[in-house]
Structures are given as structure tokens and as C-alpha cells.
Amino acid sequence: MAFIKNPPEKLRVESVSVEGETITLAFPSYNSRLVLVHGGDDTLTGRAEVKRSSGPVTLAATGTRAAYRFTPTPAKPAADLSGKWLVSFQGVKPVMGLAQFKQVGNQISGSVQLPSGDTRYLAGELAGNKLSLSTFDGSFSALWLADLANGVLTGKQFAATSKDGSAWTAKRAGGAGIEAVAVEKASGQTLAFRFPTSDGKMISLADSRYKGKVVVITLGGAWCPNCHDEAIFMGPYAAQRAREGLEVIGMQFEYGDDQARAFKQMNSFQARYRLPYPLVLAGQPTPESTKAALGALGPVKVYPSTIFIGRDGKVREVHVGWAGPATGALNVKAKRDFDTVVTRLLREKA
């Protein structure tokens, strides 16, 4: 048994195997794994195999036995960064986000909500005026570095395959906030599709199972970290409200043309979160593919997104994005808003 710690999260590794001096930490739901060899001097060396939009990627990986994340004896922190910060990425298309930090001594945990989703759990330290944060969930990884000067954070954010990083700044948010989930009202259109599950069964909203029911369609993919966070909520919720007439369909958009591989990963994703509803393979996560699958409701802008369909079979709302548990109050609001829509639709007559 092994765990990945991004405090306060303690994430259990899906599969662990040891052969001689080699340990393999596998994440079937992401189709990724770490293969590490013990060097006998409290170090591990090996590789990380992850799936990206361009295909499989292999990265060098090392590990060192340590009780700290960045430095053994960090300098006294220059400030307390606890609270909300407005984050800005400058570029051709500037991006704004909201960071929420909690600091105890040198140690900092938090998350950043961006229009494309949240960063999940970031953890690290403030040593003097230098901020270091990182996260890893078995597939998605990121490193955030910044210097604090005159109340402003200035630094770079690196993804696993990034060499140059993305420049970012942040300042105290004050009373400013951000909407993690965008709500789009639908004009009562209908949605027609027919897609397969991994066992070859074709699923359609025209099936008798969905007649007169409230149907929630999640738009996601097993490659998407925020979709994993949404599944943690969606599985129990779907089971809890099924007797009231709620049905859920997971519409998955997976990378690559290998359907067998996609179905295998979907099955691992479904098993990991014990999802009581069907997952269908609807295409690939490209604008063209999602537009073809969703018609006028496409393309998918953010993963995950959610389509709410009333008992009359008409689309009522589309929620774009999700705020995961790392975002605290934003996650509470996302779940509350989701429940409000479902409850309202369940009270309607067919």
C-alpha cells in the first residue's frame, strides 16, 4: 500500500507491486504509472509514464527519503499568505484565477481556481520570500514558484512537460471572487445520441430507462483530474437520488483512436469511484469531436461540464466546469448549485 500526499489530501495509489528492487505505482484510471528502482542509499530512480493529448509520455523520475517537501530547514517566512489571491497569467489571452492559501508556519496548502478548472491540492512552503508549491495525483503534476515583494507574488508555473513555464502574478483579492462554474440556460432543445459502453451496449436518451426521468449527463474523460474530483461527488449522489427518478450518464471523450484502450481506462475510472451509472465513449476531447457528439450544445468548453435534462426530455441547463474539494467554499457552492437544479427538476411532473 502506498499514498501520495498533497496536504491535506492523502491519495491512495490504485495499485502497488514490488519485484526485487523495483516498485511500480500504477494508476489504471489515468493509464499512468511510476516505475522506480531502489538504489540502496534512500533514493529511487526511474520513470513516470503518463498519457497526454499527444500520446504516451515518459519522464525521468527520482525519489529521496525525506520528511520535507522542498527544503529541510526553510528560512523564516516573510509573511503569512493565508487567504484569497487574484492570480493573473499574461499572454496572448490573459487568464485570471483565484488562489486560496492556508499557511501554518512555513507550510502552505491551497488551490487555484482557473476558468479551465482548479489545480487540485497544492502543497509546499514559504521560505523567506520564496514560495514553492507542487502537486501530483498519479498523472497531473505541477510546480508553482514565486517571489513575494511589496505584497505581490511573481513567478512561474511548470507542468510536467513544460520547460519554460508560464509567468504568473498574484495580489490580495480583497472582496473579489470568481465563479468556478458558469451556468448556461438552455432554450429547451433536445439532445439525441447513441454511444457504446465498454460491453458493447448502446445507450440513448430514447431508451425506456430514461423516459420521464431527470437525466444528468457529465461530459468528461478519465484523463481529466477535475473529472476525477467530480466523480467522487457524482457516484454517491446518483445512487442517493435514483429512487426519486434521477439518472446519470457519463459521456466520455478519450484521447486516441484505440477504442479497446479507451474502454479499459473507462472501466478503471468507473471501478475506482464505484460509479453506479453507465459510461459511454462519445469521441475524443477535440472541438470537432465534441461538436459532432453534442450538436448545438457543443463543443465542450471545459472538462467536466454537466447537462441537465428535465422529465420532459428537454435540456434545461448546462453547467460549465467544476470546483473540486481542494477549493473549499467553491466546492461547497458547486455541489449546492448542482443539487438545487436536480431537486427542482425532480419536483416537476413528466
Delimit the domains of the chain by residue range.
Answer: 3-64, 83-172, 182-347
Q: What confidence tens digit (pLDDT) does each residue in 97-108 have?
A: 999 999 999 999
**d(Cα 233, Cα 220) in Å, to the nearest integer?**
14
Across residues 292-321, what is the average pLDDT? 95
Task: Give the pLDDT confidence score for residue 188 in this predicted structure.
Answer: 81
Q: Express as a percent the part of the chain with pLDDT over 70.
A: 99
Question: In the prediction, which pLDDT does 162 show?
Answer: 78
* Residues 203 and 217: beta-carbon distance below 8 Å: no
User: What's domain 83-172's architecture?
Assistant: Beta Barrel (2.40)
Q: Identify the weakest region by mean pLDDT among 31-45, 266-280, 311-325.
A: 31-45
Q: How confident is the model at residue 310 (pLDDT cuts 50, 70, 90)?
A: very high
- pLDDT, tens digit, 9 for 90 and up, residues 8-53: 999 999 999 999 999 999 999 999 999 999 987 888 999 999 877 6
C-alpha angle with apex 68: 62 to 71, nearest 5 degrees?
90
- Which pLDDT score, from 0 to 100, does residue 54 have? 65
Confidence category of residue 246, pLDDT binned at 50, 70, 90: very high
Distance, in Å, from the CA atom of 63 to the CA atom of 215, rounded to the nearest integer, reads: 45
**CB-based burial label for 242 (10 Å; 0-12, 13-18, 19+):** middle
Cis status of the peptide bond prior to 115, with omega within 30 of 0: no
Which residues share a beta bridge with 105? none
pLDDT value of residue 143: 96
- Supply the pLDDT for residue 171: 96
Number of other CB atoms surrounding residue 321 within 10 Å: 24
List 149's β-bridge partners, or say none: 152
Q: Which option is the CATH number for 182-347: 3.90.105.20, 1.10.579.10, 3.40.50.150, 3.40.30.10?
A: 3.40.30.10
Distance CA 283, CA 293 (A): 7
Among positive and negative, which fits the CA dihedral 343, 269, 14, 72?
negative
Q: Which residues contact 76 (CB under 8 A, 6 or more apart)?
A: 106, 128
Asked if the model's pLDDT at residue 163 lies above 90, the reply is: no
Using one digit for the tens of pLDDT, what is the confidence trace for 287-296?
999 999 999 9
| Low-confidence winner among 30-34, 62-66, 257-261 (lowest mean pLDDT) | 62-66
Q: What is the pLDDT of residues 79-98, one digit of tens each?
A: 999 999 999 998 777 889 99
pLDDT for 68: 85
Cis peptide before 299 (omega within 30 of 0): yes
Give the tens place of pLDDT for each residue, 140-160. 999 999 999 999 999 999 987
Residue 127 reports pLDDT greater than 70: yes
Rounded Cα distance, 57 and 35, in Å: 13
